[in-house]
Structure 1
Amino acid sequence: MNITRLLKLLNDTLGTRYPLGKPELEQCLDHVLRTSQDFGQAYGILRRHWRSDFTRLLSDLAGDQKKDRLARQNALVDGYICNSEVPPRRVWDLYSNRVLPLYAINRGRDLHEIPDEVWTVSHSWVHESAHIDVSTSINGNQWPVPIPNDTTLDHVRVELLNLGAEYAWLDVLCLRQRGRPEDEEQRKEEWKLDVPTIGHVYSSSGRPCVTYFNGLGLPFNPSSQILSSTRHWLNRVWTVQEATDSWLPGGATGAACANTLHFFQHHLPRSILKKELDRVHSLAYILRCKTLPIYDEGISPELTWITLLKHMTTDSRAKVALRHAKCRPDDTSLFPSWADFMQCEQEDSDPASDDLYSSSGLYLLDDLPLRMPEPGTYFHKAVHSYGPVSIDCEHKENESGRETFKLQTAGASGNLSCYEIQDCKVSGTFLRSMKYVILELSLKTWLIVEVIGERQIKENTALEVVK
């Protein structure tokens, strides 16, 4: 293909009559031809800017490419993601049927802004035996794209276009997949940032999301046999962060099914199955984390959970701690393990009735260990504190094995003089020689903590305690 041929194709496609002889236009066409001989790529990159002044187009695109690369590099700091609102690396241009870098369609905007024209696609992944890996020019044949046996990317594209989409983010096309061995290191490097930030593209209010419940491109089928499949959209992990109010049903072009209404009334609230590492990461956008741990397939779900706790907002972190105090009052740890967190969620049938509100969040003392999969050190500004107090256990158990203990202030600083708590379950041993403080974390959740020392937090002196 030469410049003359490329210009004719673009004029015919875009309905223009640009002649040769315009230096800025010819420079753009020459650059595109040197970059790729694919007309779809040329059309995708140029069509959005075709009726603009070509004088600065190449320099602007080059500048945006550099800014995009630097922004992604700067989002990774000391082994964690310091900005959870990183936009997707690529989008699918449905008009040109090519995957393009986001900066190519984002000219003149904030590079962190996702254009409103970009829709999203959410789908379940079918079993390995039910899909085929296809090589396609849509993504420049950079990696094989897994597609269910009974559909095609062309079918998906036509349906998205008919729904009104111009651009779409679809993971199998826009997120680098496993392919050639020589590309594996690049995939792992991209996934460190791209996988944890998937939720950002779905989080924008009002952005349409086309949802394929039974698999990408497959017809909508709410039958009980399909719903029971572990591969159904409702039974997957990543779909938690892809659930949005602005969704449209994909695969709805076939005949209507009598079970459709029953499906939307009774099955959408179903819980998802576990794929532990992915499930931990999928909580990040639900909990509105501003920073994120990187995606590392070599780190266990438990260590990833410990790391995620350090990235949570102070309010979310406090709620996790309060829930743990309620579910496991005899556990001396501040937070639950990942297994205990999930078990507590299953045991707690009515979390809405809990008092999980605290007027003060739980703060991370030091941001430096964010990248490390080890527990952090936290401090809490209690609603009220009482003490120091002395604690006297009566050791008089009633028929149910519950007992009574008395609290008494050891000095004038506490506003609790003498208090008796009856019918309580006491675990551990309280010693008269130890210094205790009572922390009121919320209306119904109080903690008795042992004071083990003091430390400075900025300009203030704080008590160092253990639960």
Structure 2
Amino acid sequence: MRLKYASLPKVTLSAFTETGLLEKLNTILGTSYTLEIPSLSSLLDAYILKDYDFGTVFSRLRPFCYNDFTDIQDQLQSCEVWDRQMRQDVLVNNKIVSRLLPPRRVWDLYSNRVTPWWVARQYPSAISHAWMEKEDRMDVQTPINGYEWPVPLPKDANLNLICIEMLNLGAEYVWLDVLCLRQVSEQSDDLHLDEWKLDVPTIGRVYRMAHGRLTLQEIQHRMIIGGEVGDDNIMEKEMQARIENQLSWLRENSRVGGLGMPVFIALSEMQKRVSTNPVDKVAGLSYLLWTAEIPTYYASQSQEEAWKALADEMNMAYRGYMFFLYPKAGNGKKRWRPSWKQAMTEALPPPQLTNGWAGFVLRTKDNDADWCDGPCIESAYVRGFGDESPEEKRRLGELLVEDTMGGKYTFKVFAAHKYLIPEGLYTLVGSSPCDFQGKLQEQQCWVVGERLPGGMFKKVSVFMMANKNEVKRLHE
């Protein structure tokens, strides 16, 4: 029965009378509705005037077919109005204020048509796939999406076969980006740009809430690897093992402490990715990092502009990681964190450096000020890091400080990076020496820099205390 749904007729409704259309719907649905239901009669008449094809009408009515059709037209209109208002309400001052946003469209496999979310009202399975080079793709005009935009597909792909495979896997609704996310089209001008503001940054929600997945890329637990035909030559065991190992590692790091994926892990994963539009990689991070508010998406925005907007919304702990662990000053407008170019092209701090300490960078939105509420040593002498290391290994150095009574003390410190810190006097800003319960932290990070007028601080580099005993000595 499901395979029958995948090949519904493409004929438009102008070939039907209301009676003929309803008879065909009743035959497929196993129902016995009549045109004596005014709301149904009016709705079918409207669909005929819009020249919908039969598959589209079937997709609109199928979710309601076993309910009372007495007020079907009002039900659909109410759902559409509610959905439109919901998408308007989550956009506030160029920010998306809720992550809990369903996709705008889904692919109804039973009708083999793309239908609005407000019709289906079910979270779909999500199909993840790898984009091919332009010469390996073709643009397909298809009734599945009502010919609204050309669908870019690999030259050997077939949407109808994908539909059948997903039906055989037990799916009812799926989400496939090229079908459900509006693509560039001459006939719709810039309509895609307006939808992308909201739809691109919230794609991650589709994958998080998916009922299942035909995928080789994402990290949701209820996953299906598609394309298998029971032949080991097609999906070799080595490839399966590699995919499972990579997914297992990503799952373990996808949600740490309720904050989402740690920022340097997310950035290192994004370094390996490519995107059709360079700014798409920045947009993808908002889901991985679980920002409270998500910047809207603009295809024409520069990567650095998009990165600033995302960094402004990050959790204060992740902002702290970039301040206290990234070993160099940023080469963009913000020196306390890496620029996007640095984040994508340079070595990033290893994940284990985030353990055993806590430091935060907060932000005041009114004046776009980033600030850190931590210990500060106005003048300290740093030595031992005057030469760059050819390798990414721990280098030992010394921190010399003088107390208010003139006593001088030397502490062992280390730098887990290769960049030089010229020997000399600096102002230091540190992470908190104690946790929220007042217990001494296992580790403490220090940012080496220069005090500027107006309470400003100019970052140079970073180092850490050698061990907990040195942290204790410094703060006794």
TM-score bracket, shorter-length normalisation: 0.7 to 0.9
Q: Secondary structure at the match of 2:81?
A: helix
> Aligned residue for 1:446?
446
Pairing 1:17-416 to 2, within 5 Å after superposition: 17-106=32-121, 115-116=122-123, 118-180=124-186, 182-204=187-209, 207-211=211-215, 213=216, 239=217, 242-253=218-229, 255-257=231-233, 260-266=236-242, 269=246, 272-275=272-275, 276-324=278-326, 327-328=327-328, 333-344=335-346, 346=347, 348=349, 351-356=350-355, 358-366=357-365, 376-382=368-374, 385=375, 389-391=378-380, 406-410=400-404
1:419 aligns with 2:419: no
C-alpha spacing 1:449/1:149, structure 2 compared with 1 (3 Å): closer
CA contact (8 A) 2:105 2:117 kept: yes
CA contact (8 A) 2:385 2:421 kept: no
CA contact (8 A) 1:196 1:294 kept: yes
Identity, in percent, stands at 30
Q: Tell me how far 1:410 sits from its aligned partner.
A: 4.4
Q: Tell me how far 1:328 sits from its aligned partner.
A: 2.7
Which whole-Å deviations, capped at 9, do the CAs of 1:175-224 have from their partners, x for residues lacking one? Answer: 111222x42311111122211211110012x621102x5xxxxxxxxxxx
CA contact (8 A) 2:59 2:115 kept: yes
Letter in structure 2 aligned against 1:334: W
Q: Secondary structure at the match of 1:354?
A: helix
Q: Tell me how far 1:301 sits from its aligned partner.
A: 1.8
Letter in structure 2 aligned against 1:308: L
Q: Secondary structure at the match of 1:143?
A: coil
Which whole-Å deviations, capped at 9, do the CAs of 1:276-295 have from their partners, x for residues lacking one? Answer: 42222222111112322222
Letter in structure 1 aligned against 2:189: E
Which consecutive unaligned segments of at least 5 residues does structure 1 have?
107-114, 214-238, 370-375, 455-462
* Inter-partner Cα distance in structure 1 for 2:175 and 2:430: 48
C-alpha spacing 1:159/1:166, structure 2 compared with 1 (3 Å): same
Which consecutive unaligned segments of at least 5 residues does structure 2 have?
1-15, 248-268, 390-394, 415-419, 434-442, 460-476
C-alpha spacing 1:55/1:409, structure 2 compared with 1 (3 Å): farther
Aligned residues: 396
* Inter-partner Cα distance in structure 1 for 2:26 and 2:453: 77
* Inter-partner Cα distance in structure 2 for 1:70 and 1:184: 23
CA contact (8 A) 2:97 2:292 kept: yes
Letter in structure 1 aligned against 2:107: W
| Larger mean Cα displacement after TM superposition, 39-48 or 334-343 | 334-343
Letter in structure 2 aligned against 1:158: I
Letter in structure 2 aligned against 1:169: W
C-alpha spacing 1:258/1:33, structure 2 compared with 1 (3 Å): closer
* Inter-partner Cα distance in structure 2 for 1:397 and 1:195: 45
C-alpha spacing 1:430/1:183, structure 2 compared with 1 (3 Å): same
Which whole-Å deviations, capped at 9, do the CAs of 1:27-65 have from their partners, x for residues lacking one? Answer: 333333334432111111111111212233322321221
C-alpha spacing 1:167/1:323, structure 2 compared with 1 (3 Å): same
Q: Tell me how far 1:464 sits from its aligned partner.
A: 5.1
* Inter-partner Cα distance in structure 1 for 2:37 and 2:383: 95
* Inter-partner Cα distance in structure 1 for 2:381 and 2:196: 55
Which whole-Å deviations, capped at 9, do the CAs of 1:318-358 have from their partners, x for residues lacking one? Answer: 2232331xx337999210112322344x465xx24313554
> Aligned residue for 2:13?
none
Q: Tell me how far 1:78 sits from its aligned partner.
A: 2.6
Which whole-Å deviations, capped at 9, do the CAs of 1:46-93 have from their partners, x for residues lacking one? Answer: 111112122333223212212222222233333333333322111011
Letter in structure 1 aligned against 2:211: R
C-alpha spacing 1:444/1:94, structure 2 compared with 1 (3 Å): same
* Inter-partner Cα distance in structure 2 for 1:288 and 1:142: 32
Which whole-Å deviations, capped at 9, do the CAs of 1:138-186 have from their partners, x for residues lacking one? Answer: 1111111122222311101000000000001111111111222x42311
Letter in structure 2 aligned against 1:66: V
Q: Secondary structure at the match of 2:189?
A: helix
Give the alignment's Cα RMSD to 1 decimal: 3.4
Q: Tell me how far 1:96 sits from its aligned partner.
A: 0.9
| Larger mean Cα displacement after TM superposition, 328-337 or 11-20 | 328-337
Letter in structure 2 aligned against 1:439: G
Q: Secondary structure at the match of 1:378?
A: strand
| Larger mean Cα displacement after TM superposition, 294-303 or 134-143 | 294-303
* Inter-partner Cα distance in structure 1 for 2:292 and 2:408: 44
Q: Tell me how far 1:131 sits from its aligned partner.
A: 2.8
TM superposition score normalised by structure 2: 0.73
* Inter-partner Cα distance in structure 2 for 1:127 and 1:449: 45
* Inter-partner Cα distance in structure 1 for 2:385 and 2:315: 42
C-alpha spacing 1:347/1:449, structure 2 compared with 1 (3 Å): closer
* Inter-partner Cα distance in structure 1 for 2:59 and 2:274: 39
TM superposition score normalised by structure 1: 0.74
